[in-house]
Structure 1
Amino acid sequence: MDAVVQAAIQRRQAAITAFLSIESIKQTDKEKRLGLLSFAVPVKGDTEIFVVGCGSNVVIIKWDSYTNIDFPPYYVLNSPHRPDDPLPLGNRLGYGSVDYAKRLYFATTYDHPDNHARNLGSVYSLDTNGILEKKMWNLGSVTGGFVWDLARRRNFFSLREHRSAKFYYADTLNNYILGYDFSTNNGDLDRREELFEFLHHQENSAPGRMAIDNRGWLWVPLLGRHRVIELNPFDETAHRVIHIPAVNVGGCTFGGPNWDILYVSTIGYKHNYERPPGDEGGHIFAIYGLQVKGVPTREYSLSSVVLGQASIELGEITSLLTRGERNSRIRRYRGRGSSHA
């Protein structure tokens, strides 16, 4: 897939996340049963299908990017909350992303501050058939997310090396970036190591949703510290620091036609009186000129059987909306252009 198409997919992914975040505020009591929205990833083969984390469910939605509706139709793909293995009370889906084998991985998180110190988090995978597998458990209750890097070999031009694929995990509450050996065949994780402890580097801050570039280096936002730092996981050293005009820097991702722009999201404030002077939290910043490129967005590969079943149900739901209802909703939303990070 060329860079233009990939960029279009990324724009749609960002748009659907922003759109659903806004719409979730207006959910009825019935809709609130699904819970908070957490991630959105594109699905291979259809630019109008996305997989979204919502409460304790992983759902498939259809969104054509031209029509805004109050409640997009959805199909529940799976959930880690099961009668034989329920999630701890208060847990929900958190970060989610797609590995190099096009499997979906997501973590659970616990929102209540009184239980943040407890290890209530887990990481799950969903394969092409939507089959769920728990990969890690007894983790910190909050994670800033995770990224993958393929195996690298030492060569004449570079001294960096790791002989297996890597899975980097942001342990937000404990101020660590953790590294695991990752099997691209079965998705298993092994040999945990503490790659970077922020307290050891005089950084009393929590890592947010990091990004990885094509060298295998990490770009880590720091919650509460106005900055993004560049980390070399091969020798566990910190390099460039990008200062951001917001206290709470939440996430990073690469984008643009050449994947060389680092987009940095920041966390806003519910009330303006809570905002420190000069704080621009709630905006997304674009960082140019880093002389590195990111890794293109990967699509979740679902089997034709699963997609077929979902499409049937989504189609049946969508068909309930008459042309008049669709047109009235388009008119109602036309002209709206504001959003919140």
Structure 2
Amino acid sequence: MTPKLEMVVEAVTLGEGPHWSREEQALYFVSTYDHTIHRYHPAAGTHGRSKMSGRTAFIIPIEGRPHHFAVGVERQILEVEWDGGDGTAVIVNTVAEVDGDIPTNRLNDAKADPRGRLFVGTMGEEYAPGKFHLSRGSLYLINSDGSQRKLETNIHISNGLCWDVRNKAFYYADSFEYAIRRYDYDIETGNIANPKLIFVFKDHGLEGIPDGMTIDTEGNLWVANFDNSLILKIDPHNGALLDKIKMPALQVTSCAFGGPALRDLLVTTARVDRGAPQPPPAGCTFKLSGLGVKGGESFNVRLD
């Protein structure tokens, strides 16, 4: 089956962190370098955005608080109230701040686990186009009361994050490791253990790096292949590369399943000039339909 590709949201500089809200039937995402949060409502055909105070890493709804979101800005996780309209976001509270010992770091990717705990990662500063201070990031778990604990250190660029509860697995990508890790996952505590590389890019002749990813109900991973114009479908149980879907942008950043039945894959991209301009439609958000799979849902954050 050949998937159908559509452009659904106009270009931003660095689209990231797509989250599909089943309650609202809307897509939330950010543009990191534009310092903006975004809401796209397919049925209404609307796209709202609001400016934040710095580089913006993610936006995730807070469970039980309509129009309230956990938003990552620089090194802070903020509670933000936003109605989805242009320019209407208000900071309510600072939930947590991470990497206080490395103030040049920033948040990069985050998701809530199936119990609503926030897993959030950091990365080192970009000191030249496409060049980063390595091994300075960490992966954190943020509890509902805002307390935090480090799960991993010496991370280059924290990315990916998804869970397979049935198989007690957590999947994660440190992008400059050029691989995907599997951890044992304890849903009761949020603990992760026993990391193992289950997919190495060079073993499959792949260029670029792993970026954001999601999982379908069959347990297969869908991975954004940044700097290689691809979405990858991977079987994490045997490390097989099941499919490669060509995208019309070099910098494919992340993906999430959405739509009424969670059968559409919504893909964010970027148009960052790292020595070469990225031509249109780079930076747009796309919809892939007709994939023949159903996706796992995006979980909301639970805060006290």
1:206 aligns with 2:209: yes
CA–CA separation in structure 2 for the residues paired with 1:120 and 1:182? 24
User: Given residue 82 of structure 2, which amino acid in structure 1 is its aligned partner?
Assistant: W
Greater percentage in helix: 1
Partner of 1:251: 254
Where structure 2 has 5 or more consecutive residues not aligned to the other structure, the ranges are 1-19, 31-35, 40-46
Equivalent pair of 2:78/2:95 in contact (CA under 8 Å): yes
User: Which of structures 1 and 2 has the bigger CA Rg?
Assistant: 1
CA–CA separation in structure 2 for the residues paired with 1:74 and 1:297? 23
Change (3 A) 1:100 1:205: same
Greater percentage in strand: 2
User: Given residue 149 of structure 1, which amino acid in structure 2 is its aligned partner?
Assistant: D
User: Given residue 154 of structure 2, which amino acid in structure 1 is its aligned partner?
Assistant: N
User: Given residue 295 of structure 1, which amino acid in structure 2 is its aligned partner?
Assistant: G
CA–CA separation in structure 2 for the residues paired with 1:6 and 1:264? 15
Counterpart of 1:133 (choices 135, 149, 170) is 149
Equivalent pair of 2:62/2:301 in contact (CA under 8 Å): yes
Partner of 1:61: 80
Counterpart of 2:233 (choices 230, 234, 240) is 230
**Structure 1 residues 86-113: Cα deviation after superposition (integer angstroms, max 9, x where no partner):** 3324111111100011111100111324
C-alpha RMSD of the superposition? 2.5
**Structure 1 residues 5-63: Cα deviation after superposition (integer angstroms, max 9, x where no partner):** 94344616348822699644xx7xxxx4xx31111111111221111111111110111
Partner of 1:293: 294
User: Given residue 104 of structure 1, which amino acid in structure 2 is its aligned partner?
Assistant: L
SS at match of 1:136: strand
Partner of 1:75: 93
Partner of 1:106: 120
Partner of 1:46: 65
User: Given residue 78 of structure 1, which amino acid in structure 2 is its aligned partner?
Assistant: A
Using CA pairs under 8 Å that are at least 6 residues apart, name the structure with larger relative contact order, 1 or 2.
Answer: 2
- TM-score normalised to the size of structure 2? 0.81
Matched residues, percent identical? Answer: 25
- TM-score normalised to the size of structure 1? 0.73
Residues 141-220 of structure 1 mapped to structure 2, 5 A cutoff: 141-152=156-167, 165-220=168-223
Where structure 1 has 5 or more consecutive residues not aligned to the other structure, the ranges are 153-164, 304-341
